[in-house]
Amino acid sequence: MKIKDILDKADSLPCIRVHAGLPIGSVAEKLMETPQVREIYVVDKNGRLVGGVSPGRLIRMICAAKRGSQFSTRRLLTSIACEHISDIMDPRIIFARKEDNLDEVIELMLDGNIKEIPIVDQSRRIIANLGILDLWRLAERNWRCECADVKSRN
């Protein structure tokens, strides 16, 4: 079974997509609006996935900036507004394509301890953000159907 076969059955999870040139402070504001995300996806000017940043990494970056001798919100915003999200993103983002095999994507997620995975089109634009539990549920349903087919043939 391919990812494209389950796209209409799976619930796409909320995700944050930000342009690579966006200041870290602006990304933090977006994170405050959508706190339940597990990854912040970074896209280029054409909307193609180029990297990712975990909320934890972003928060650590902001907290490190505020650990100066004297904390002030103004200084914090100034220090983080000068840096772009592309400065802290991981360009080795793991993603799946519609043509990928569902079982292989689940295996990839389990091996990498990934809870959510972006699904991209041929141009590497995000079309969905799927969670491991939803994918596993759909795969499990498919495995049961395959087992039932084998039993009925015997």
All structural domains of the chain, each given as residue ranges with its CATH number in brackets, are 3-153 (3.10.580.10)
pLDDT tens, residue order, the chain (154 aa): 999 999 988 888 999 999 999 999 899 999 999 888 999 999 999 999 999 999 999 988 888 777 654 555 655 555 555 589 998 999 999 999 999 999 999 999 999 999 999 999 999 999 999 999 999 999 988 766 654 554 555 5
- Fill in the DSSP letter of residue 42: E
Which residues lie across from 119 on neighbouring strands?
96, 128
What was the pLDDT predicted at 62?
Answer: 81
Cβ atoms 22, 85 nearer than 8 A: yes
Cβ-proximal residues to 38 (8 Å cutoff; 6+ apart), any chain: 54, 55, 115, 116
The bridge status of strand 49-53 relative to strand 40-43 is antiparallel
